[in-house]
């Protein structure tokens, strides 16, 4: 396990990764288990959903198509993919991304790591790889949790559409992780990295949620990464290539920024 | 191995500024293969900054550092393959055990001799099974020392290596350094402990406020050592006869006794005393402590002469 920076970093995170996995799995499975009760009482929710769907404030916390909530895909989107799952992914990715360089630097161990025969570029690439690895692990956990949920409540749905939406949401989280990573690599301060990235994440979420309801905001919704997240969609197969390309491009952009600035600057002693 | 002519460590006009503050200014020095080199100076004089610049953790504002004849920025990785480093305040991974930590570094460095690591751990009686964060300061320092020596590097750079070690472990450390030198390793030590420097080092540089104020062999510095001398005469002697001797200080006469401190050679004092009847001479050596204190305290322009 302890033979390179990627494995070592994931190994360091073994406890926190377990807790995140439990959190994700607990959330997904319990919401899925709630589905049959929801369908049973769908009539009593109908009015509520209609009102909520017209209320801008409700739109902040319940994205997705509220009127389509009776369908399995609609339920999963409103309850999980539109808010909670992206929120957890983004929170995990920001935490991990800012810890990668800035966290190690504020503990004073980055300096020591550099006394070993690894280049700064390798440190960036491997730390970034570990962050991606963490998101991949959680995505596997999430897909498995959805699988468990689908089987238990016997939901009629093409499981691949859920897998695609989970991957897309993981990529969305990764973009914010990459941003936190690059701020940490550039400035070496964890607070700066977490603060700025969380602010941007909240801002882009609100832009995405409220943009369609506010005329002058509408044209800007496309700069929000949330715009590019593919939710569960039964009408088309596969991830949207342009959306996915946006995420990959943003990830590579932040990685390049990290390499360039990290190679130039002084490492702090914490 | 490189040719013996290439210095293992070479600083050329090395300067590091933090904003407007000059932490290290125009340092020039060379350390040759097999040397044990002491890098001294008061707190905040720029020792750690020099070391961190030389190892490419921070970048020189001007000038350069070369290690094994390789530029420290351009050839950082090649240098580090052949280097052992012990940072000043060891911030090593608290949540790993000593064994995990050493295994990780062993792999990162592509080291091959785990028996040697194991031997070092036994030698320092290090606890490898507990979390590093839970170890006492000295026990943590042992882990730091083991990793600095573990891949049998050609150069070991240590920032205050014995801080926290008990006297027994200090002795163990000194003999390890000496053995390591015997196999051709160069050692660069920053330290505040004068007897340690005196015992280990062949040569020292002293830094004050970022500027190198002296670069001498320990042997030469010993000549500047203070000797406390007590002379007993057959008759009372006039103090004035001694007060003009060069390097003499704190002259006191008390009955037949004359006490004074001499810096450097005692020749003039002995010759002056010989005009009287001398019954006995006692000399006590203070070691280099006072020599260093002089360097630390005196204004740097006084010493430049
Ligand atoms: N990151 C930094 N930013 C600003 N100033 C710094 C920084 N690091 C060090 N300095 C300043 O540079 C000077 C040299 O510090 P350095 O740590 O090199 O001293 P030192 O000789 O190692 O001291 P000590 O004996 O206490 O370890 C000090 O005045 C210190 O305040
Ligand atoms: Mg220091």
Q: CA torsion B176→B193→B211→A187, rounded to 10°?
A: 70
Ligand 1 atom closest to residue B47's alpha carbon, by position in its atom list: 21
pLDDT of residue B254: 86
Ligand 1: residue of B11, B15, B16, B18 to mutate (most ligand atoms within 8 A of CB) is B18
- Asked whether residue A64 carries a pLDDT value surpassing 70, the answer given is no
How much is the average pLDDT of B74-95? 88
Residue B115 has a pLDDT of: 94
B226-285 CATH fold: Alpha-Beta Plaits (3.30.70)
| pLDDT bracket for residue B28 (50, 70, 90) | very high
Q: What is the distance, to the nearest Å, from the Cα of residue B281 to the centroid of all Cα atoms in its chain? A: 33
CA–CA min distance A85, chain B (Å) = 30
Average pLDDT score over residue span B13-19 = 94
Q: B261 falls in which pLDDT band (50, 70, 90)? A: confident
What pLDDT, in 10s, does the model give residues A187-235?
999 999 999 999 999 999 999 888 877 888 888 888 999 999 998 888 7
Q: Does B52 lie at the interface with A, CB-CB under 8 angstroms?
A: yes
Instruction: Specify the higher pLDDT residue, B82 or B305.
Output: B82
List the residue whose alpha carbon is closest to atom 24 of ligand 1.
B43
- Least CB–CB distance from A2: residue in B58, B59, B107: B107
- Span B218-240, mean pLDDT? 85
pLDDT at A60: 67
How confident is the model at residue B2, as a pLDDT? 47
Do the Cβ atoms of A109 and B55 come within 8 Å?
no
pTM above 0.80, yes or no: yes
Is 50 exceeded by the pLDDT of residue B303?
Answer: no
Strands B155-159 and B186-190: parallel
Taking the domains of chain B in order of start, what are their residue ranges? Answer: 3-221, 226-285
pLDDT at B10: 95
- Check whether A245 has a pLDDT greater than 90: yes
Measured by CA distance, the residue closest to atom 28 of ligand 1 is B44
Predicted confidence at residue A232, as pLDDT, reads 86
Please, are residues A174 and A128 in contact by the beta-carbon 8 Å criterion?
no
pLDDT at B67: 96
From A110, A269, A270, mutation site for ligand 1 pocket: most ligand atoms within 8 A of C-beta: A269
Domain ranges of chain A: 5-37+44-264
CATH class of domain segment(s) B3-221:
alpha beta
**Confidence at B107, pLDDT banded by 50, 70, 90:** very high
Note the pLDDT of residue A257.
97
Pocket of ligand 1 (CB under 6 A): B 18, 21, 23, 41, 43-49, 88
Query: Whole-angstrom distance between the N-terminal and C-terminal Cα of chain B?
Result: 39
CA dist., res. A76 & res. A80, Å (int): 5
Q: What is the mean pLDDT of residues A66-90?
A: 88
Encode A29-46: b = buried (16+ Cβ within 10 Å), e = exposed.
bebbeebeeebeeeeeee
């Amino acid at each position: 396990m302890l033979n390179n920076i990627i494995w070592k970093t994931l190994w360091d995170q073994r406890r926190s990764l377990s807790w995140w996995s439990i959190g994700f799995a607990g959330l997904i499975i319990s919401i899925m288990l709630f589905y049959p009760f929801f369908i049973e009482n769908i009539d009593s929710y109908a009015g509520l959903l209609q009102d909520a769907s017209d209320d801008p404030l409700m739109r902040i916390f319940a994205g997705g198509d509220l009127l389509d909530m009776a369908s399995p895909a609609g339920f999963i989107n409103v309850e999980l993919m539109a808010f909670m799952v992206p929120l957890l992914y983004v929170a995990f990715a920001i935490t991990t991304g800012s810890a990668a360089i800035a966290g190690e630097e504020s503990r004073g161990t980055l300096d020591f790591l550099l006394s070993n025969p690894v280049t700064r570029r390798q440190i960036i690439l491997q730390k970034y790889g570990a962050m991606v690895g963490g998101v991949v692990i959680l995505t596997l956990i999430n897909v498995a949790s959805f699988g468990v949920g689908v089987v238990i409540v016997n939901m009629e749905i093409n499981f691949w559409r859920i897998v695609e939406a989970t991957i897309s949401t993981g990529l969305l989280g990764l973009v914010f992780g990459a941003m936190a990573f690059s701020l940490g690599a550039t400035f070496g301060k964890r607070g700066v990295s977490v603060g700025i990235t969380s602010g941007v994440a909240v801002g882009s979420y609100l832009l995405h949620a409220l943009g369609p309801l506010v005329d002058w905001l509408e044209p800007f919704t496309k700069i929000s990464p949330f715009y590019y997240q593919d939710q569960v969609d039964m009408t088309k197969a596969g991830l949207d290539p342009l959306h996915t390309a946006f995420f990959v491009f943003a990830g590579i952009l932040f990685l390049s920024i990290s390499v360039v600035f990290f190679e130039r600057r002084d490492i702090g002693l914490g | 191995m490189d040719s013996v002519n290439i210095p293992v460590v070479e600083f050329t006009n090395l300067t590091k500024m933090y904003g407007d503050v000059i932490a290290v200014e125009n340092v020039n020095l060379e350390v040759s293969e097999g040397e044990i080199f002491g890098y001294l100076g008061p707190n905040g004089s720029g020792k750690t900054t020099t070391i961190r610049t030389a190892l490419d953790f921070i970048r020189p504002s001007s000038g350069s550092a070369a290690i094994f004849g390789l530029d420290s920025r351009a050839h950082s990785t090649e240098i580090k393959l052949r280097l052992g480093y012990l940072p000043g305040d060891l911030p090593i991974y608290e949540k790993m055990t000593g064994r995990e930590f050493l295994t990780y570094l062993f792999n990162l460095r592509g080291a091959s001799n785990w028996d040697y690591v194991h031997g070092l751990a036994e030698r320092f009686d290090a606890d490898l099974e507990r979390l590093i964060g839970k170890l006492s300061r000295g026990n943590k320092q042992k882990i730091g020392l083991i990793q600095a020596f573990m891949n049998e590097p050609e150069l070991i750079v240590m920032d205050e290596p014995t801080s926290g070690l008990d006297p027994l472990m200090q002795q163990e450390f000194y003999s390890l350094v000496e053995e390591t030198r015997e196999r051709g390793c160069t050692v660069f030590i920053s330290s505040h402990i004068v007897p340690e420097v005196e015992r280990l080092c062949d040569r020292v540089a002293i830094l004050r406020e970022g500027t190198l104020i002296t670069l001498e062999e320990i042997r030469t510095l010993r000549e500047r050592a203070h000797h406390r001398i007590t002379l007993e005469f057959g008759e009372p002697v006039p103090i004035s006869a001694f007060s003009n001797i060069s390097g003499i200080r704190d002259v006191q006469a008390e009955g037949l006794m004359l006490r004074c401190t001499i810096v450097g050679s005692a020749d003039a004092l002995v010759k002056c005393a010989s005009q009287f009847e001398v019954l006995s001479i006692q000399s006590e050596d203070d070691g280099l402590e006072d020599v260093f204190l002089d360097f630390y305290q005196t204004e740097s322009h006084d010493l430049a002469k």
